[in-house]
């Protein structure tokens, strides 16, 4: 699974805009997690939750919360994409 650089740039820009409106990083992380999990397949929700906890913790103990929030979003995209590719591969293997 590949993630386009232009997609990452758009995500980063959106996150910066949100953080510049004085939304707390912890609230932004929670909102993003809930929005992503609502749309995700049940098989990946636990893995996304683990990544959310990992990057939330890193954002609290570290500096530059934007880096950790962006890393969470990228990881969630990767997890979902990997799962979708696996499903596509399984359906191809049936033939």
- Over residues 79-92, the mean pLDDT reads 76
Q: What is the pLDDT of residues 38-63, one digit of tens each?
A: 999 999 999 999 999 999 999 999 98
pLDDT of 87 reads: 72
Distance (Å, whole) CA 40 – CA 42: 6
- The top-level CATH class assigned to 5-94 is mainly alpha
- Rounded Cα distance, 67 and 64, in Å: 6
Q: Quote the pTM value.
A: 0.83
3-41: per-residue pLDDT in tens? 677 888 898 999 999 989 989 999 999 999 999 999 999
Structure tokens at 65: 């919360």
């Amino acid at each position: 699974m590949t993630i386009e650089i232009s997609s990452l740039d758009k995500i980063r820009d959106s996150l910066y805009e949100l953080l510049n409106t004085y939304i707390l990083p912890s609230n932004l992380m929670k909102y993003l997690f809930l929005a992503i999990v609502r749309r995700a397949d049940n098989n990946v929700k636990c893995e996304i939750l683990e990544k959310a906890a990992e990057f939330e913790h890193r954002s609290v103990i570290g500096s530059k919360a934007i880096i950790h929030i962006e890393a969470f979003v990228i990881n969630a995209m990767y997890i979902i994409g990997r799962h979708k590719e696996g499903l596509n591969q399984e359906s191809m293997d049936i033939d």
